[in-house]
Amino acid sequence: MLIATAIGIAVNRDLLSVVMLSSIYGLLSANFFVTMDAVDVAFTEAAVGAGISPLLMFTTMAIVGRYEKLPHRWSLSALVLVSITGALLLVATMDMPAFGAPDAPAQQHVAPRYIEQSGQEVGIPNIVTSVLATYRGFDTFGEVTVIFTAGVGVLSLLMVGDRATKPLSSHLLKASQHKILRIVSKVLIAPILLFALYVQFHGDYGPGGGFQSGVIFAAAIIVYTMLFGLDSARQVIDQAWVRVMAAVGVLLYGAVGVVSMVNGGNFLDYDVLAKDPLHGQHYGIIVIELGVGITVAAVMVLIYFSFAGRLVDRGHQDD
């Protein structure tokens, strides 16, 4: 089914259906991840690949144009190149271990240690969160910084120049005729925010954690923005505040590392944060997940605000 969806994306000229198909593709992959026992990954992929990603693509489409202009010509050289690469890769996979084999090299060495020892060393049930936050804390720090950098990049691309300060025609952004949608969204936004908080703090015990909750939080705010207009959304959540919050998340993460160093351990070594290592790990993990969630939510909201601020009145052109 994934292959059928991918081929559908390749062949379609209508960008609207391309984006919907890519959202379906994301959802199908999330399903696949669940069957592979990767629940955290499935959660994130569903939120990101089937939620935020198509949303941003739709916003881009509203600015860029709905149809692919040129007729689709199958490029022979590209097909040949792709087939040769594909054949080489297939030959390379002959040596790889069988699907699901318990004695594959990927399952030895490091993974059993995490599975067996994380219970005593870190003490939280979700092994993925403990690996993400403690054993591989540096990588997660880098990831938060990457998200922050992407937010800065989008801001620098889209919020400069005279386009940013021109006021937008209000009929584009208000949806005052959509009464049913407004009422339903008013009912739904509060539970969505609550769910985001639940996912944030429950990441230790089940699937969840900072990234997923940040994305869900941002989704609630984006729903509000879409239905009530960019101006009122900017009044509710001041844009300067959001930028500060994006930086605060990264700083929080780094601060935990510095506090660990001040207390005598290494950078991002949570054992020294409290009286005994287990509590120290718990505090450290909660604080950095909070930092991650704050940054992800703030950056997603910033990106959407920047995109929406560029909406142009295309009228009835159909390029």
Partner 1 sequence: MTDMLLTHYNYWVVMVLMMIGFYIVIAQGNLVKKLVGLNIFQTSVFILYISAGKVSGGSAPILDDAISVYSNPLPHVLILTAIVVGIATTALGLALIIRLREAYGSAEEKDIQEQNQC
Partner 2 sequence: METYELLSAVLLAAGSFLLLSGGIGVLRFPDVYSRMHAAGITDTLGACLILLALMLLAGFSLVLLKLMMILAFLLITGPTSSHALGKAAWKAGVKPLTGKSLQR
Query: Which residues inside 161-200 make contact with partner 1, applying CB under 8 A?
Result: 163
Decide if 289 contacts 207 (C-beta within 8 A): no
Judged by CB under 8 A, the residue of 24, 27, 131, 199 near partner 1 is 131
Interacting span for partner 2 (CB under 8 A) from 112-120, 147-155, 176-184, 287-295? 176-184
Interacting span for partner 2 (CB under 8 A) from 59-67, 180-188, 232-240, 279-287? 180-188
Instruction: Assess 93 for contact with partner 1 (CB under 8 A).
Output: yes
- Partner from partner 1, partner 2, none binding residue 315, C-beta < 5-8 Å depending on class: none
CA distance 299 to 153: 11
Judged by CB under 8 A, the residue of 17, 27, 31, 40 near partner 1 is 40
Judged by CB under 8 A, the residue of 24, 48, 219, 242 near partner 1 is 48
Nearer to partner 2, 97 or 191 (CB): 191
Tokens encoding 226? 């879409």
Q: Identify which of 146, 119, 122 has the alpha carbon closest to the alpha carbon of residue 134.
A: 122
**Shortest Cβ 199–partner 2 spacing (Å):** 12
In this structure, which amino acid lies at residue 84?
Answer: I
CA distance 163 to 166: 6
**Buried b or exposed e, range 134-167, using 16+ CB within 10 angstroms:** bbebeebbebbeebbeebeebbeebbeeeeeeee
Looking up tokens 């959660």 gives: 43
Judged by CB under 8 A, the residue of 17, 24, 31, 70 near partner 1 is 70
Q: For partner 2, what does the binding mask look like between residues 43 and 82, x meaning CB under 8 A?
A: ----------------------------------------
Cα R_g (the chain), whole angstroms: 23
Looking up tokens 């941003």 gives: 56
Tokens encoding 64? 């860029």
Question: Directed axis angle between helix 277-308 and helix 239-262, to 10°?
Answer: 160
Instruction: Assess 187 for contact with partner 2 (CB under 8 A).
Output: yes
CA distance 224 to 311: 17
Instruction: Assess 101 for contact with partner 1 (CB under 8 A).
Output: yes
Interacting span for partner 2 (CB under 8 A) from 42-50, 144-152, 175-183, 236-244? 175-183
Instruction: Assess 180 for contact with partner 2 (CB under 8 A).
Output: yes
- Partner from partner 1, partner 2, none binding residue 80, C-beta < 5-8 Å depending on class: none
Question: What does each C-alpha distance from 42 to 49, 58, 111, 224, 309 come to in angstroms?
Answer: 10, 23, 20, 26, 31
CA distance 85 to 91: 10
Count of residues of this chain found to bind partner 1 when the rule CB under 8 A is applied: 98
Q: 70: left (phi > 0), else alpha (psi -120 to 50), else beta?
A: beta
CA distance 42 to 29: 8
Judged by CB under 8 A, the residue of 101, 184, 190, 236 near partner 2 is 184
Q: For partner 1, what does the binding mask look like between residues 272 and 311, x meaning CB under 8 A?
A: ------------------------x--x---x--xx--x-
- Partner from partner 1, partner 2, none binding residue 181, C-beta < 5-8 Å depending on class: partner 2
Which residue ranges make up the site for partner 2 (CB under 8 A)? Answer: 178, 180-181, 184, 187-188, 191
